[in-house]
Structure 1
Amino acid sequence: MGIRGKLLVLLLLISVVPLTINAAINHLSLHRFGRHLAAVTRTLLTDSAHAYLHQVVESYQHLQERDSKTVEAALKLESQQWRNRLESAEPEPNSPAIVFQFLKDFRPDLTARQYTFLASGTGFTYPSEENFPGSSDPRQLPWYEAAHDKMVLTRTLAIDPITGHPALFTAIPLLTPDGRFNGVTAISRPLSEVLRTMALPEAWTGKARAMLVMLEKGGGETPDRLRIVAAGAEGTVSPETGEGAYLEPDEPAEAGSLLKKITSGQAGTARIVFRGQETHWVFGAGREGEPLPVVIVSHDAIIDEALAAERHVQSKTIQGLMISGALLAAVVLIVVALAFASSRRVTRPLSQLAAAAQRLTGGDFQARAEIRTGDELEELGRIFNGLGPRLLERERMAGSLALAGEIQGHLLPTGPPPVAGLDIFGGVAYCDEAGGDYYDFIDLPKGRLGLAVGDVTGHGIGAALLMASARGILRSHAERDSSDLPVLFSALNRHLARDVGDERFMTLFYGVLDARDRSLRWCSAGHGPVFLFRSQSGAVEELETTGIPLGIMPAGGWEGTGPIVLESGDILLVGTDGLWEARDLAGVAFGTERLHTTILSRRQEAAAEIYAAAMEAVRVFRGAGRQEDDVTLVVVKVV
């Protein structure tokens, strides 16, 4: 992704993300507010609907109680009129009608019909224009039989013989002066008129239903049931009767709970699943022999206002999201324009830098980027312009180092010398192109071999130059006088002390191997440790140093040591400190003990294999860590 793209992304993150988060928070808050408002409104509307329905049912029952008392008073008066008529020699023929007419005049809103039938089967109805069916025996009607059997005022739900609709009959027996049964007079009230007193709001049209039910007692395994005797819907009243018209909730458990409440005789409410819908039921207090008022309202009808409020909040939320989306789109357009406009000031200098860098990688060390922005980019251009000369200088130095390394490689032995009875192998691993470690094999008179291993302080080209100088001096003096090692070391020290000053010095082990008697004489200028692994005893001997490092001071004393006799299987190990001071990533040194273990495990092998095993052990121990010092190792095995 280019600078412009990254700048665009950054600006979008700075501007759009906060707006998006703010819009999301507002949307979530409004959504939660809408749900909370709807929930609170649902609760309030449900409670209000329950209270209203309770009031409707209670008002209905109060009106029915008032009407019942009015009808009872009229019937008692009529019963008394009949008794007076029977006791009178000339009874007034229309006295019952007069009583009923008085009732109609007193309560014109009370729709009723009067039936009076004597035990002989004769009787009349009022209003008289509606005749009683001639095929029916009035004495077999339920309300007549109830009053006759109980001999008290009764209320009976039955079909009106004239209209064929359900009605509530209030009946009282007619008695002779001596107390004998003489007939029944009754006033019927259509249940449709009774239901009209339970008026429901027009808003509930189609979602509410008022009805009158009768509790039918079951027997045995047959449960109690609520039979519908009259019902109203859509705000109007239409009677519903007939076998099988029962009011039954969908869930049996809810039906049982409802019947338990109704049989307790107390008014109440219930939330019931009815015909697949959640509904609220309100019922009045039951009275024996009288229908029970029940109002059923759909839950949706009650919470319509809450749903409307929730929909309103949702619409406002969507409107807010649309506004936020438009605002975000405008911000994105502005940010894109700003990103492209401002990025040119950045990308143009960077393009110049990229072109100059391309030329620089192609070897043009004179490549320049002329940037005049007066800010950090100009400073970056100035730094870049200084890279070419520095890289040119480093390339020249790298070439010099490579040449020095190549020359130094030619100064080292090309291979181990062939010496009878001795297996010799040596090598060096520099940490830079050139270094200060040194080893050499010098042919001496009488079949002897000079073995030199040295270590100049530091590494790199300076140490390599000092090593080359020391090699030349050592070879020059060793070939002229190989017998007096202290004199040899003194001459070498004078040259080094004069040439290197106080900044550098060199440790050196120089030994003379005589294949004829398998002996070793040596002199060590601070170089060590040097190990001799004895094959017979298994011991590891450390050859002592005989003086201080070379080049520290012009005058110094070094002693020669030996000879010592080497036996078959003995191994002489001469190395530099880069071998046992190598460290792993945790900073732990390789150490001489690990070196001993490695050599002893390979002591039966040739010198080359022993050398390779030691160098590999150091490399594995160092792991991914960088080689910090030159490593030199010479192995001499007596065969």
Structure 2
Amino acid sequence: MRLRWKFFLILLGFSLVPLVVVTSFTRGHVVRLGRTIAGEGRAMMTDIVKNELRQTAEDYALILRRSKSAMDFSLTVLATEAARALAGPAPANTAVYRASDGDRDRKAPPDMEVAQDYTRRRADGGAEPLPVSRDNPVVYRPPGARATGSADARLAALGPAFALLRSELGDLLLFAGVTLADGSHVSFPGHVGYPADYDPRDRPWYQAARAAFVPQAPVGGGVVWNHPAVDAATGQVTLTLSKAFAGPDGRFAGVASLDVPLARFLQQQEIASQWSEAMRTFVVAPPAADQAGRPELTVWAERTPEGQAPDWKSTVNFERLTSADAAGLAALIATMQREKAGVAELPFGGQEAFWAYSSLMGGASFLCIVPKSMLAPLAEQAGQEILSATGGIVRLTGLAVAAVLVAVTVAAFLSTRAFVRPLLHMVEAWKRLGGGDFSVRLTMRVGDERQTLIDAFNETVPVLADHLRLQRSMEVAQEVQRNLLPAAPPEIPGLDVAGVGLSCDETGGDYFDYRAVVRDGEVCLDTVVGDVTGHGLPSALLMATGRALLLATEDSETPAERVSRANRLLARDVGDSGRFMTLVAMEIRPLAGQARYVRAGHDPALLYDPEADAFTAWTGRGLPLGIQPDYRYEENVRPFARPGLVLVLGTDGIWETRNPGGEMYGKERFRESIRRAARESAAAIVATVLRDLAAFRAGGRQKDDVTLVVVKKV
């Protein structure tokens, strides 16, 4: 029976019920129902706000962690460039500007000028613009340090590296600097204004980086995130990253550093939330105890204008976050130490508020606070609307007491309870499903259109469960494939190696690897770049199989022998599938100055000679792996001895990338990117190609896997 006929029969049956009894019953029932719904609406809205605030905190913390990763990488690049400058000859014709000459027009950098966004403290306690050079670094030497012209020139030659950091970090960076063990210090942007007794070696960031130095390691140790301190030149409270680096002898040589104003670090990002106007956001220090042993939260940064501290030698006294509910605040701090994200309800600033947090790094957290008063008008409005609606029904029922039509309307209202009950069961089932219970099913039989909804729900639940299992499986596969690729390039004397692999789907069919091996008593580079037909999970499985077969071969074998053996085994497994794998397997001997390689149907490796400004394709014969099991691959030998030579191995996902207009990136643009960055490190060459590729794609989706390995002779 159709639903409209059921309603018609119910209305007809109840039309004879005494009107007064019906009116009295429905009045109390509707009022109670309205109050119940209004209360549940307030509670539901509170849960929605808490969930949104928690998600806002997690999203913002993720953005800040990505900014941290960018700064870690930038500082590592700066430390590497500083170590390279110390290891090479002193540069000739490099202009050296010193902080002691910064106020003299004749000896100052040509672009030195006072900057409104950089200030220094005057003797009377006020502030004035600080002379800054945005294009040239300035060398500073503390009192008593011995002057060394070659050291100053090497530090001044870091200008291009500093300029690259500025282009990457923008306004987030206050100063970048390099400090040598003898006290020599270079800063960028170049500036004056150092205190008379300032020695960078006495600063906590220098000492912490030196303590973390790893002897004999070219990279010198990890990046140290120091506690906030006062910058000596500007008086701003900054968060300083520092990293030690080694000299040519492998011993400690100095420290590279980045200064980021705390307030600017938090202001760099915008929070997109309907609560943004009333929200207060903070970066808080790792929870600690006050002098009385009570837990407290210390504010490192807030979205407020930057300020100056009174003394660069003094300890920064940060604001403490307090709440009238001391026990609740202590419970929140304990939760922050256990869980990465969460929401609590605590008083703040004299009114009830939501506190949402998410962890950042080193125990620090991002915290946002929103007054509950933002919720009250919305909840109250919803409640009033519900109560007003129910009141209208009651008044309408009372006015219709004298008419049969009113009696029929009241009867229809009474019937809604039976009608709504199945819908409420459906809502409860959806809530359980939203909570992760995929065993829920609806067993009701109603015999009308609602049965279609019930059947659709029961059919949808197992499909959703299967999709969720598939998604989790793909996430595991993506993590496994990511772990198959090398985490870092090997350290091989005479070679600078870098590589990257980017999948267009959760998993991909591109493959690269590099490792240090010993051949005839010499440390050599063993590297391979491959491409499986197609992309996605099938290609990823074939890639993993090919990788295992290549790694399972004997290290004493030649590249041709290893590839031949892997091809024979792979062809047995995939010979009938129509899939295959192209690759270039190469062994580079830096002392011998030669490269031995096998080309199995892959695009040739490219050799770029900066002196001759010429590219050479390293060709060779060979079928892709997995086609002919008994095929014998030939080995090619090429010279690779002169420093500065750049060898590039990649997959077609690079030059076959298309922009929104359908134009292909092409190998000519690829070569031009390599030519522009050829004088830089291998990692910088990889970064240049990826940036150029992303700019060419102009926001379009990456449609094929991209893999690139760069080997530079040093």
Q: TM-score range by the shorter chain?
A: 0.3 to 0.5
Higher helix share: 1
Larger radius of gyration: 1
TM-score (norm 2): 0.39
TM normalised by structure 1 equals 0.43
